[in-house]
């Protein structure tokens, strides 16, 4: 599978200016190629290349392959939407391939800029260093304005572990108060994330109200700290879930929560908390880590997972008394609502993974009695 690795570049002031000018010309060329393609109503790489390659070389002073990549960036956007003509920001990513970017030795990268090749020091973390030998293909040069630093996002082709033959499934219920709860009873609380969100929200409000130059500089410094903290928490949770699943030879069942923000309404005071919920990122981390570990993942329908009783199957809205409490109005079964949701997700995941795939007989495990008993 392909994985994106982040590599930090160490650049001097004069090199920074060259890279910024390269970005500006590259993205101006990409915007020009997009405009020409949109007006001519042609969206394939060869067709757009014929229309604007020569003009891009002469007008923007790009090397041959940088011009090709600028056209490629424009063409890629039309694959998503041909009804809108894109315009790229001056310092958005520059796309490199193996012809115009290569790693030299242990800590150097050579890449094309408008004045020719630059040989720049680069910093590999331990995680990146372990996967460095598998870097291959496209790379993106990214500039972070708030820190004034450049990063390369490189593609690494990593081998996947042999798929395991699961004996059961772990249901994982994603939430806001509790980021995740699994059918084993493990709870991954979101207290630290919520505390971080509130702290940065109050800090931003105070700095924005102040409006001074130093306040604006402070805002730039903290702009991504909350997102980075949330990302780290999601990495930790996803790794623990996947490690547990692989160690016990079980698959992972997750809800399909696409579009949930549009389907759910919340009170004004809860909006920042609700819209800061990074469930999609957590699900993505679980999915790709599971794929690398050879753990199957089943995406199930979320309907009624919080309302159905895992003991008797009775489904009613009033079964869930509040955010954390579940009491079945038919049989009296009670438990934590997130744990109940995880049990129902597990049951749906097992059906998806085992019952539908069975040829001669349905899947049977020693967990059936436990599931029926809650």
Banded model confidence at residue 259, pLDDT cuts 50, 70, 90: low
How high is the pLDDT of residue 353?
A: 79
Note the pLDDT of residue 268.
53
The pLDDT of residue 97 is 92
pLDDT band at 363 (very low <50, low <70, confident <90, very high): very low
**Tens digit of pLDDT for each residue in 73-101?**
999 999 988 999 999 999 999 999 999 99
Which tokens in the block code for residue 33? 């190629």
Q: Which residue has the higher pLDDT, 121 or 160?
A: 121
Q: Taking residues 252-256, what's their average pLDDT? A: 90
Tell me: pLDDT of 55 over 90: yes
Which pLDDT value is given to residue 267? 54
Mean pLDDT of 280-299: 90
Dihedrals phi, psi of 342, to nearest 5 degrees = -65, -40
Does residue 103 have a pLDDT over 70?
A: yes
Residue 371: pLDDT band with limits 50, 70, 90: very low
CATH class of the domain comprising 168-373: alpha beta
Tokens of 127: 């995680």
CB 296 within 8 A of CB 253: no
| pLDDT score at 360 | 40
pLDDT at residue 342 in the model: 92
Least reliable range by pLDDT among 196-200, 294-298, 343-347? 196-200
pLDDT at 359 exceeding the cut of 80: no
pLDDT of residue 41: 94
Q: What is the pLDDT of residues 156-209, one digit of tens each?
A: 888 878 888 898 999 999 877 778 889 999 988 877 776 777 787 788 788 888
Residue 31, pLDDT above cutoff 90: yes
Question: What average pLDDT does the segment 106-120 reach?
Answer: 91
**What's the rounded Cα separation, in Å, for the pair 10 and 37?**
36
Query: Distance between CA atoms of 12 and 18, rounded to whole angstroms?
Result: 10
| Alpha helices (H) along the chain | 13-40, 45-60, 64-80, 126-130, 191-210, 213-222, 225-247, 260-263, 271-275, 279-293, 337-350, 367-373
**Count of Cβ atoms closer than 10 Å to residue 154 Cβ:** 25
Q: Is the pLDDT of residue 112 over 80?
A: yes
Q: Give the model's pLDDT for residue 372.
A: 33
Q: How confident is the model at residue 368 (pLDDT cuts 50, 70, 90)?
A: very low
> 257: pLDDT confidence band, cut at 50, 70 and 90?
confident
pLDDT on residue 295: 93
H/E run at residue 334: strand 334-336
At residue 108, the pLDDT reads 92
pLDDT digits (tens, 9 = 90+) for 220-243: 777 778 788 888 888 999 999 999
Average pLDDT over residues 143-159: 88
pLDDT at 243: 94
Looking at the chain, the domain(s) classified CATH 3.30.420 span 168-373
Give the residue among 176, 172, 173 at the shortest CA–CA distance from 278.
176
Q: For the chain, what is the largest distance between any 2 Cα atoms, rounded to a whole number of angstroms?
A: 77
pLDDT band, residue 18 (cuts 50/70/90): very high
115-133 average pLDDT score: 87
């Amino acid at each position: 599978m392909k994985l994106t690795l982040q590599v930090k570049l160490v650049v001097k002031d004069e090199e920074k200016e060259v890279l910024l000018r390269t970005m500006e010309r590259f993205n101006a060329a990409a915007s020009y190629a997009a405009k020409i393609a949109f007006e001519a109503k042609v969206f394939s790489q060869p067709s757009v290349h014929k229309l604007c390659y020569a003009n891009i070389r002469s007008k923007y002073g790009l090397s041959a392959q940088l011009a090709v990549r600028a056209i490629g960036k424009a063409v890629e956007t039309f694959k998503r939407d041909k009804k809108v003509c894109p315009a790229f920001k001056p310092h958005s990513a520059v796309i490199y391939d193996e012809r115009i970017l290569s790693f030299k030795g242990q800590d150097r990268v050579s890449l094309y800029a408008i004045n020719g090749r630059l040989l720049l020091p680069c910093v590999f973390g331990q995680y990146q260093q372990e996967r460095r030998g598998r870097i291959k293909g496209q790379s993106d040069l990214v500039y972070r304005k708030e820190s004034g630093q450049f990063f390369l996002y490189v593609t690494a082709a990593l081998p996947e572990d042999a798929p395991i033959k699961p004996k059961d499934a772990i249901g994982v219920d994603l939430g806001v108060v509790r980021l995740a709860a699994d059918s084993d009873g493990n709870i991954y609380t979101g207290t630290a994330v919520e505390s971080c969100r509130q702290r940065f929200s109050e800090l931003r409000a105070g700095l924005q109200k102040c409006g001074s130059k130093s306040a604006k500089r402070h805002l730039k410094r903290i702009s991504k700290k909350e997102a980075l903290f949330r990302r780290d928490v999601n990495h930790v949770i996803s790794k623990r879930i996947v490690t547990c699943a692989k160690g016990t030879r079980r698959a992972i069942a997750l809800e399909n929560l696409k579009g949930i923000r549009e389907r759910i309404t919340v009170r004004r005071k809860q909006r920042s908390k609700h819209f800061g919920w990074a469930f999609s990122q957590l699900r993505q981390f679980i999915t790709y880590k599971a794929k690398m570990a050879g753990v199957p993942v089943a995406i199930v329908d979320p309907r009624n997972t919080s309302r159905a009783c895992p003991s008797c199957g009775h489904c009613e809205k009033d079964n869930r008394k509040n955010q954390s409490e579940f009491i079945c109005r038919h049989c009296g079964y009670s438990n934590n609502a997130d744990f109940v949701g995880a049990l129902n997700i597990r049951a749906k995941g097992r059906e998806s993974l085992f019952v539908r795939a069975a040829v001669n007989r349905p899947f049977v495990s020693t967990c059936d009695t436990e599931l029926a008993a809650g």
